[in-house]
Amino acid sequence: MDQILFNIGLLIEYPMVNLKIVIDGVMIGALFALAAYGLALVWGVMNVKNLAQGDFVIAGGYTSWFLVKTGWLQSIGISSNIVALIGVPVAFGVMAAIGWVIYKLIITRVIERDLFTSLLATFGLAIMMAQIMNLLFGSDTQSLKLDYETLYFADGLIDVPIAKLIGVCMAAGLALAVILFMKNSRMGQAIRATSQDSRAARVMGIDTEKVYAFTFSLNAAICGAAGAIIVMVWLIQPFYGITYSVRAFVVVTAAGLGNLPGVIAAGLGIGAAEQYGGHIFGIGYQQAIAVTLLLIVLFFRLLQQRRKRQALN
């Protein structure tokens, strides 16, 4: 308790610390927002609540990590820093392929069933993916330690590694690309039409099965790219996946489906909230805070619905 009070006192005494926490939180929050956007996409289009979302993120991270660690590209004279950046599109591609396979094997069979079926099937998938990654890469936490410089502001109180800045810029670029794709391309229009009314879309000649497969694959690819960015600066571990899934759920539940600005704001907000919580309660509570935020958001939404005499479903 004294420790908590001391930490809060620190925040008040040095206002710059607040700024540092917010900057850190917003940076990681950008990646939460990416994963959450993928979840909202799948949720909205095919009404599948994907609990393996976080494991896609981690799998993407390991793809990029593996690319750097094997050193194939370094052997032809590309520096590790560049390889890590190449890892992002590679993870995007690899996870798109994995997502497509998963769709064809599992998801296509549970779309028409009740929601618990898809939830439990993706939970099984999440366990399976985490364990396969554990077998392949071991259970240690991994991170690519890139030798980018770190920028310092305000007498060294605020440190911003350039790698983080690059990561956030890539996340923003990816988000922008996906949004433009959804707005302008033929496939993007088909996806939006399917999410509005799949039956009507089918009547209008849209191959919804193809749209579903593409959406799921795109979701996995977005998550994979987010993971590849995460591994550049932050840590990944085979069993961190469930926390990322939970965060994606928090963001989507808080923002609601099809509310893109809301998803981004909630993603950044949960990043900052987690950093604040980690600072105040100690780093050991970070996972607990992510999950507790889920409960808080759920109950908050519940109260909103109750005022309208409806249940959250």
Partner 1 sequence: MTKNTLLYAVLVAATVAAPFLFPSYTAFLATLWLFIIVALTWDMTGGQMGYNSLGNIFFYGTGMYTGAVIAIGLYFPVGEWTDASRSEVFSVTASQYYTGMIIGIPGAGLFCGLCAFIIGPLFFGLRGPYFAIGTLGLAIAAGEIVSNIEWLGGGQGISMPHSPLHPDFEKVLIYFLYAGLGVVLFGFLRWFYSTRFGAAINAIRDDEEKAEAMGIHTLRYKTITWAISAVFVGMAGAISAFQLIHFEPLETAYQTINLGIFMVVCVLLGGKGTLWGPVIGAVLFHVFKEVTWNYILGGQWVALGLLIVIIVVFFQDGLMGYLKHVRPGWFGIKVDTKGATS
Please tell me the distance from the alpha carbon of residue 26 to that of residue 205, in angstroms, as a whole number. 42
8 A C-beta contact, residue 237 and residue 141: yes
Choose which of 30, 41, 49, 240 interacts with partner 1 (CB under 8 A): 49
Q: What is the DSSP string of 146-210?
A: ----EEEETTTTEEEEHHHHHHHHHHHHHHHHHHHHHHHSHHHHHHHHHHH-HHHHHHTT--HHH
Q: How far is the CB of 125 from partner 1 (least distance, A)?
A: 6
Q: How far is the CB of 256 from partner 1 (least distance, A)?
A: 13
Q: How far is the CB of 226 from partner 1 (least distance, A)?
A: 20
8 A C-beta contact, residue 312 and residue 300: no
Q: Looking at beta carbons only, is 150 or 310 nearer to partner 1?
A: 310
257 binds partner 1 (CB under 8 A): no
* Binding region for partner 1 (CB under 8 A) out of 71-79, 109-117, 149-157, 217-225: 109-117
In sequence order, what are the residues at sequence separation of 6 or more whose Cβ sits closer than 8 angstroms to the Cβ of residue 231?
61, 62, 64, 65, 84, 87, 142, 143, 144
Backbone angles phi, psi at 142, to 5 degrees: -125, 150
Choose which of 58, 129, 190, 201 interacts with partner 1 (CB under 8 A): 129
119 binds partner 1 (CB under 8 A): yes
Choose which of 66, 100, 148, 285 interacts with partner 1 (CB under 8 A): 285
* Binding region for partner 1 (CB under 8 A) out of 137-145, 163-171, 270-278, 284-292: 284-292
8 A C-beta contact, residue 289 and residue 278: yes
106 binds partner 1 (CB under 8 A): yes
Q: How far is the CB of 141 from partner 1 (least distance, A)?
A: 16
Pull the structure tokens for residue 303. 């109260």
Residues that bind partner 1 (CB under 8 A): 49, 51, 106, 109-110, 113-117, 119-121, 123-132, 134-135, 242, 246, 249, 253, 282, 284-285, 287-288, 291-292, 294-295, 298-299, 302, 305-306, 311-313
